[in-house]
A and B are shown apart, each in its own frame.
Chain A
Amino acid sequence: MMRRLIRAELKKLKRQTMVLVGYLSILFSFIITFAQQMQIKAGAPEWEGFAEMFFYNNAMLFLPFTVSLIGGYMIDQEYAKDTLKNLLVIPVRWQDAVKAKVAVLFLLTVRIALFETALLLAAGIMLKNRPAVLIMAGECMKAFAYNICITLGILPVILWFGKSGGKYIWGSILSMLLGISGVFVVNGRAVNWHPVTVCFSFLSDVYGEKTAMGYLESGVAIFLYGLLCVLVYRIRYCRGNKTVISK
């Protein structure tokens, strides 16, 4: 059943404006990064620096909001479009449908990571500083890891607000603020615990604590965010009889 649910969720994304908004925001991040690099490096930016700043901008400014918007919308639309009843009479358990949505959200972030990689490649061509294939593959893996960790960090917010009928937009705003707040912790000790910068010690070349303790803290924090996701999911979607439309 889970495979069928995931397939259904993927089909539902067809012609979905929200997904397009996601790609556009990443493109916007790319443009901003390009402008920043041109400013900083006075017309001769390097690709490595560009990639680092691109991931930083994505993490702090765009990805939390975008992923939260898409994820929240995916859950909320079943209430808003009144399609939940169609699933419940099949019968599909709402809890399972939400699990499938989360799985598809992660798949979507992987797709976004591929898009980011394509943009990085385009940047390399534009900067006449095309990276080696191996480095490019490494950056691609980094993009996957960044996106998955950031999605995990803000998933409790998505799950919490997705259930509250039309309030997912508030969840997106909260996620955006969480992302921006990362700017203030990125150079401090909280960098390993913050939902958006939690993976920096592993992935960033510049930020995060590159010590055994730093890696350990990040690992524990990622685990705790995973646990928090499960907790919010159970509270919001599994407690009592949540498979009915009205109590």
Chain B
Amino acid sequence: MDNFIIETKGLTKYYGDTAAVKGVDLHVNKGEIYALLGRNGAGKTTIMKMLLGLSMISEGTVYMFGQPFEGNKREFLGRTGVMIETPGFYPNLTATENLEILADLRGYVKRDAVKESLERVGLTYKDKKLFSAFSLGMKQRLGIAAAMIHDPEVLILDEPINGLDPIGVMETRNFIRELAQDCGKTILLSSHILSEIELLADRIGIIDKGILLEESPYEELKKRNMHYILLSVDSTETVIHMLEEEFHINDYRIMRNGCIQIFDEGIQTKEIVRFLAGRNIYVDAINKCSDTLEDYFKRITGGEGIA
């Protein structure tokens, strides 16, 4: 448990009889960028809210910095920066004034914290523009600045690139990466934008209908699951049985069109062809394929694409 900055055990949230989040065991390591990937309404924000004590937990426990969250809330929140959902600020105030309020309430921020946070996200310090006149992208940047104002060890960012223009997306991505790599911050973020997750995350948790389906380092996930052999034969059931016996495969999937996807590593296509030819089985096609993260997401959630 000590290695995990954030850990949950059986985290569950019921709204009436409906479970919005079911038995989630989340593990976020120190210094990594962990991305919660899921469709809208999958339960990402609910998990984040429960982690922060903003939403009551129905079942399960949250651990932060190796200690139970309950009873250490004040200390843990002081070490955590948060941006949940659309950033909310006072519309009659400027970005600087909004951040000054938060900095003052925190009470232990550096003297130039407001200036530094704003400049870090590309907003001007002491700009006269009121929050009510901000674009969605500027609001998002201000939300991130507010999360960083007290130089936290952990950042929890809910959809941080939502509403940003392409340049803003790139800049945000770069500084999130910079925060993790150069400053050693641990970042838990959520997103439904697969392309960004692919470029940013060290570790991915795939969540669907409130269930955490898979949690693994992105590189491992890519290596393990996103490469497979696609085999097209006539008698799929027989072939699968034979391959199970000969190559001891156990990670495969029979597709609706009769093709077989074999995810087990270490099997060569030529070995399969030679083996099946030896058994007088005609192979229509065999290919080494690579899934995109979206294909993989669709496969494991058993549904449509994410966006």
User: Contact: A14 with B56, CB < 8 Å?
Assistant: no
A14-B92, A14-B93, A246-B49 are known contacts. Are A82 and B102 too (CB-CB below 8 A)? no
Q: Is B272 an interface residue (CB 8 A)?
A: no
Which B residues touch A89, using CB under 8 A?
52, 54, 77, 80, 82, 84
Indicate if the CB atoms of A86 and B102 lie closer than 8 Å.
Answer: yes
**Known A245-B49, A245-B55, A246-B49: A8·B86 in contact at CB below 8 Å:** no
A8 near B82 (CB under 8 angstroms)? no
Q: Restricting to B93-140, which residues have a CB under 8 Å from any CB of A?
A: 93, 97, 100-102, 104-107, 130
Q: How far is the CB of B157 from chain A (nearest CB, A)?
A: 12
A85 x B93 contact (CB < 8 A):
no
* Residues on B with beta carbons closer than 8 Å to the beta carbon of A4: 104-105, 107
Contacts of B18-73 to chain A: CB distance below 8 A: 49, 52-56, 73
User: In the bound complex, do residue B55 and residue A77 qualify as a contact, i.e. CB atoms below 8 Å apart?
Assistant: no
Assess whether B89 is interfacial by the CB under 8 Å rule: yes
Q: Contact: B90 with A83, CB < 8 Å? A: yes
A91 to B84, CA, bound (A): 14
Partner pick for B77 among A7, A16, A17, A91, CB 8 A cutoff? A91
Q: Distance in Å from the Cβ of B124 to the closest Cβ of chain A?
A: 19
| CB of A241 to closest CB in B, whole Å | 7
Q: Assess the A87–B90 pair: CB atoms within 8 A.
A: no
Nearest neighbor of B82 in chain A, beta-carbon distance:
A89
The answer to whether B101 touches A241, judged by C-beta atoms less than 8 angstroms apart, is no
Instruction: State whether the Cβ of B91 lies closer than 8 Å to any Cβ in chain A.
Output: yes
* Shortest beta-carbon distance from A101 to chain B in Å: 13
Q: A90 contacts which of B86, B90, B92, B105 (Cβ < 8 Å)?
A: B105
A111 to chain B, nearest CB (A): 17
Q: Which of B88, B93, B97 contacts A86 (CB 8 A)?
A: B88
Using A89-B77, A244-B53, A244-B54 as known contacts, say yes or no to A15 and B92 having CB atoms under 8 A apart: yes
As a 0/1 sequence over residues 207 to 247 of chain A, the CB contacts with chain B under 8 angstroms (1 = contact) are: 00000000000000000000000000000000001011111
A41 within 8 A of partner (CB): no
When chains A and B are docked, how far (Å) is the Cα of A16 from the Cα of B97? Answer: 13
Whether B105 and A12, one on each chain, are in contact in the complex, defined by CB atoms closer than 8 angstroms, is no
Query: Which of B49, B56, B105, B130 sits near A8, CB closer than 8 Å?
Result: B105
Q: Hey, which chain B residues are within 8 Å of A247, CB to CB?
A: 55-56
Interface residue count for B (Cβ, 8 Å)? 30
Q: Find out whether the CB atom of A83 lies under 8 angstroms from the CB atom of B89.
A: yes
A82 close to B92 (CB less than 8 A): no
* A92 at interface, CB cutoff 8 A: yes
Known: A90-B77, A90-B102. A245 touches B54 (CB 8 A): yes
Asked if A77 contacts B90 (CB within 8 A), the reply is yes
Contacts of A243 in B (CB 8 A): 53
Cβ of B74 within 8 Å of any chain A Cβ, yes or no, is yes
Q: Note all chain B residues with C-beta closer than 8 A to A245.
A: 49, 54-55
A90 in contact with B106 (CB, 8 Å)? yes
Which chain B residue has the least Cβ–Cβ distance from A15?
Answer: B92
By a CB distance below 8 angstroms, the chain B residues around A92 are: 105
Kindly provide the distance from the CB of B85 to the nearest chain A CB, expressed in whole angstroms: 7
Say yes or no: is B146 at the interface (Cβ < 8 Å to chain A): yes
Chain B stretch 175-231: residues in CB contact (< 8 A) with chain A: none
> Complex: how many Å from CA A85 to CA B143?
12
A7 to B52, CA, bound (A): 25
Assembled-state Cα–Cα distance A244/B107 (Å): 22
Known contacts being A8-B105, A11-B100, is A88 close to B54, with CB within 8 Å?
Answer: yes
Select from chain B the residue with minimum beta-carbon distance to A11: B101
User: How far is B102's CA from A219's CA once the two chains are assembled, in angstroms?
Assistant: 40
Check A85/B84 contact, CB under 8 A, given A8-B104, A246-B55.
Answer: yes
Smallest distance from the beta carbon of B37 to chain A beta carbons, Å?
A: 23
**Taking CB as reference atom, which chain B residue is nearest A92?**
B105
- Is A107 part of the binding interface, using a Cβ–Cβ cutoff of 8 Å? no
User: A12 to B88, alpha carbons, bound, how many Å?
Assistant: 14
CB-defined contacts of A14 to chain B, threshold 8 Å: 92-93, 97
B35 to chain A, nearest CB (A): 20
Report yes or no: B74 in contact with A91, Cβ–Cβ below 8 A: yes
Contact with B along A54-97 (1 / 0, CB 8 A): 00000000000000000000000100011111111111100000
A246 touching B92 in the complex, CB below 8 Å, given contacts A91-B73, A91-B77: no
Q: Note all chain A residues with C-beta closer than 8 A to B100.
A: 11
Provide the residues of chain B in CB contact with A81, threshold 8 Å: 88-91
Other 10 A-B pairs with CB < 8 A, given A8-B104, A246-B54, A246-B56? A8-B101, A12-B90, A12-B92, A12-B101, A14-B92, A15-B130, A81-B90, A82-B86, A86-B88, A89-B54
A contacts, CB < 8 Å to B: 1, 4-5, 7-8, 11-12, 14-17, 77, 81-92, 241, 243-247
Supply 11 A–B pairs (Cβ within 8 Å), ascending by A: A4-B104, A11-B100, A12-B90, A81-B88, A85-B85, A88-B54, A89-B77, A89-B80, A91-B77, A246-B56, A247-B55
